[in-house]
């Protein structure tokens, strides 16, 4: 049975068609949803997950007032396939986009025009839909741009590669190019993230009187390590012993990469605080679920140093790894009065669970099968939460990598092309994935290999270089 949350007099939320006790029912008010997606933010990069060197007061407050998830996973260990998994409710064994396949001169491999997405789901439920930030799932005029994928409003980067520049010469508003002439000739006047953030807040204000779904897909703190040298940067300007990054390995040079990275995380935190403050000012905070998370683990490009900040938290691995540090990500959910304050959940969930969660929230019957399981019961602190039999990931760079988690067990198969090694870890005792138990438990390996082999279907674009 699908559940529709209903706002009643006094602000209490009830399931189904229930009315407030001893009071006449009011008209149903659907819950707004804001989904904030950071880029390359590691599990350990924010204070509520253990970060010591970077200040994230708003996210820490969000966690105190909401629910912190300890076992939430990205769709993949790099951007495009991770976002495709999020957008479609399919893991990378079934999704169309399973790697960062570039399309010149601007864009990535598109999804097919009839792809069912989060935007289409929420639009069908009567929501105003908007996405602000990085898209990375097509190219301009392709079958897969935000306007064809269910979003009424888009402002930001169509191409994820171009999103690596924070002072671009253009962005996109829906299907129109927005030229930023102030940034011509290395002008560096308009900081893209601030402009995108302003448009996101405007969308919230413009739709305050109707249900809305907003995806805020900021590029922060992805390389390049670059931002205005304002008061946020000045917090860290002289805080660390720095080694300048000269740009010879790609990305824009950074004189103080540690300070820049820390300031980018804190700037992202400020954006989150602005969203929460805007909701409170509009009187929407108790009728809006805000979810904050990241698209994969931390990076080391452009002068970033995940070892210095312990960006991967207690785990092993970073972006492009299928160890926990590459795919386990922070997630905080907030809605005062609906989501229990100070709650912590160890429910095992992943990006492909977001679609069925929003479907249950809005009472929408999904037209297509997903790989996900709704975690709405967990958000509402209910006891009827279903669990996954397994989670599956595949990665198509570095000769290919696969991972599968089933309960406490984690199987990794890598590389796919070449001399393949099987790694088995007991995450209940070895969260850092130090001890390979494959030889000790051959029957468990056989069981998980069978699950892994059956988890994927062949793709016309992503097959680890195997013969078709």
Quick: pLDDT tens for 407-462. 999 999 999 999 999 999 999 999 999 999 999 999 999 999 999 999 999 999 99
Residue 461 lies in a domain: no
Q: 405 and 376, same structural domain?
A: no
Among 343, 323, 346, 347, residue whose Cα is nearest residue 335: 343
Q: 288 and 197, same structural domain?
A: yes
Residue 109 lies in a domain: yes
Q: 432 and 379, same structural domain?
A: no
Choice among 51-60, 210-219, 353-362, 457-466 with the minimum mean pLDDT: 457-466
Interval 145-164 mean pLDDT: 98
* DSSP letter assigned to residue 346: -
Question: So what's the pLDDT on residue 3?
Answer: 40
* Structural domains of the chain, count: 3
Residue 106 lies in a domain: yes
pLDDT greater than 80 at residue 98: yes
CA distance 465 to 118: 30
Residue with tokens 């989670």: 391
Confidence of residue 56 (pLDDT cuts 50, 70, 90): very high
Residue 279 lies in a domain: yes
Confidence of residue 369 (pLDDT cuts 50, 70, 90): very high
Interval 326-335 mean pLDDT: 98
At residue 220, φ and ψ (nearest 5 deg) are -60, 140
At residue 62, φ and ψ (nearest 5 deg) are -60, -40
Among 272, 241, 277, 273, residue whose Cα is nearest residue 258: 241
Interval 38-59 mean pLDDT: 98
Q: 305 and 433, same structural domain?
A: no
Residue 462 lies in a domain: no
pLDDT greater than 80 at residue 292: yes
Q: How far is CA 100 from the centre of its chain?
A: 16
Choice among 5-19, 57-71, 142-156, 320-334 with the minimum mean pLDDT: 5-19
Residue with tokens 């998370």: 293
pLDDT greater than 70 at residue 7: no
> What CATH code is carried by the domain that includes residue 325?
3.40.720.10
pLDDT greater than 50 at residue 338: yes
pLDDT greater than 80 at residue 176: yes
Residue 371 lies in a domain: yes
Q: 189 and 241, same structural domain?
A: yes
pLDDT greater than 70 at residue 21: no
Q: 353 and 405, same structural domain?
A: no
Question: So what's the pLDDT on residue 448?
Answer: 98
Question: So what's the pLDDT on residue 152?
Answer: 98
CA distance 468 to 462: 10
Close Cβ partners of 164 (under 8 Å, ≥ 6 residues apart): 219, 222, 223, 224, 251
Q: 132 and 24, same structural domain?
A: no
pLDDT greater than 80 at residue 2: no
Question: So what's the pLDDT on residue 23?
Answer: 53
Among 216, 215, 200, residue whose Cα is nearest residue 278: 200
One DSSP character per residue, 8-56 reads: -TTS-EEETT---TTSPPPPP-PPEEEEEEESS--TTSSGGGT-SSS--
Question: So what's the pLDDT on residue 18?
Answer: 34
CA distance 164 to 177: 18
Q: 307 and 200, same structural domain?
A: yes
Interval 82-108 mean pLDDT: 97
Task: Quote the domain boundaries for residue 4.
Answer: 1-30
Residue 463 lies in a domain: no
Residue with tokens 């590389």: 415
Among 367, 350, 359, 399, residue whose Cα is nearest residue 92: 350
Question: So what's the pLDDT on residue 27?
Answer: 53
Q: Which residue stretches of 25-67 are H helix?
A: 57-65
Interval 137-149 mean pLDDT: 97
Question: So what's the pLDDT on residue 17?
Answer: 31
Token pair of 147, please? 């306007």
Region of 433 on the Ramachandran plot (φ > 0 left; ψ -120 to 50 alpha; else beta): left
Q: Is the peptide bond before 13 cis (omega within 30 degrees of 0)?
A: no
Q: Helix or strand or coil: residue 50? A: coil
The dihedral sign for the CA sequence 307, 69, 260, 160: positive
**Whole-number average pLDDT of the chain:** 94
The fraction of the chain above a pLDDT of 70, given in percent, is: 93
Confidence of residue 186 (pLDDT cuts 50, 70, 90): confident
Whether 137 contacts 150, CB under 8 Å:
no
Whether 296 contacts 83, CB under 8 Å:
no
Token pair of 191, please? 């900081």
Interval 383-403 mean pLDDT: 97
**Domain boundary, last residue among 356, 371, 388:** 388
Question: So what's the pLDDT on residue 402?
Answer: 98
Residue 468 lies in a domain: no
Q: 41 and 128, same structural domain?
A: yes
β-pairing, 32-38 vs 170-173, is unpaired
Q: 131 and 258, same structural domain?
A: yes
Question: So what's the pLDDT on residue 29?
Answer: 78
The dihedral sign for the CA sequence 261, 264, 265, 266: positive
Close Cβ partners of 27 (under 8 Å, ≥ 6 residues apart): none
Report CA-CA distances (Å) from 232 to 202, 203, 237.
23, 25, 9
At residue 391, φ and ψ (nearest 5 deg) are -120, 145
> What CATH code is carried by the domain that includes residue 433?
3.30.1120.10
Q: 365 and 305, same structural domain?
A: yes
Q: 447 and 369, same structural domain?
A: no
């Amino acid at each position: 049975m699908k559940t529709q949350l209903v706002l009643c007099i006094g602000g209490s939320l009830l399931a189904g068609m229930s009315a407030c006790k001893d009071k006449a029912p009011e008209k149903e008010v659907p819950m707004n949803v804001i989904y904030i997606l950071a880029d390359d933010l590691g599990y350990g990069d924010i204070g509520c997950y253990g970060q010591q060197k970077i200040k994230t007061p708003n996210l820490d407050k969000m966690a105190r007032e909401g629910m912190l998830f300890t076992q939430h996973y990205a769709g993949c260990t790099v951007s495009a396939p991770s976002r495709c998994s999020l957008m479609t409710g399919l893991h990378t064994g079934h999704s169309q986009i399973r790697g960062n396949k570039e399309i010149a001169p601007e864009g990535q491999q598109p999804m097919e025009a009839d792809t069912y997405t989060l935007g289409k789901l929420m639009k069908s439920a009567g929501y105003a839909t908007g996405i602000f930030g990085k898209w990375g799932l097509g190219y301009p005029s392709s079958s897969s741009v935000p306007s064809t994928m269910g979003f009424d409003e888009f402002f930001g980067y169509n191409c994820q590669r171009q999103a690596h520049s924070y002072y671009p010469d253009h962005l996109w508003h829906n299907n129109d190019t927005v030229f930023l002439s102030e940034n011509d000739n290395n002008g560096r006047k308009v900081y893209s993230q601030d402009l995108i953030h302003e448009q996101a807040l405007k969308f919230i204000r413009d739709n305050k009187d109707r249900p809305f779904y907003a995806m805020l897909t900021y590029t922060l703190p992805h390389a390049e390590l670059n931002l205005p040298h304002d008061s946020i940067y000045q917090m860290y300007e002289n805080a660390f012993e720095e080694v300048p990054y000269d740009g010879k390995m790609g990305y824009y040079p950074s004189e103080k990469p540690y300070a820049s990275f820390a300031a980018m995380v804190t700037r992202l935190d400020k954006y989150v605080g602005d969203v929460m403050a805007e909701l409170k000012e509009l009187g929407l905070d108790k009728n809006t679920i805000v979810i904050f998370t990241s698209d994969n683990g931390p990076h080391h490009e452009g002068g970033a140093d995940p070892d210095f900040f312990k960006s991967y938290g207690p785990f092993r691995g970073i972006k492009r790894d299928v160890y926990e540090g590459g795919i386990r990500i922070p997630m905080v959910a907030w809605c005062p009065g609906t989501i229990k304050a100070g709650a912590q959940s160890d429910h095992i969930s992943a990006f492909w669970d977001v679609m069925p969660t929003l479907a249950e929230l809005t009472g929408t019957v999904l037209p297509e099968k997903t790989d996900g399981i709704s975690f709405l019961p967990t958000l509402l602190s209910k006891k009827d939460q279903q669990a996954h039999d397994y989670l599956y990931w595949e990665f198509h760079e570095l000769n290919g990598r696969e991972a599968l988690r089933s309960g406490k067990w984690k199987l990794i198969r890598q590389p796919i092309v070449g001399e393949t090694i099987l790694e088995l870890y007991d995450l209940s005792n070895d969260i850092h994935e130090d001890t390979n138990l494959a030889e000790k438990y051959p029957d468990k390996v056989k069981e998980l290999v069978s699950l892994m082999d059956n988890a994927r279907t062949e793709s016309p674009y992503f097959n680890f270089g195997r013969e078709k």
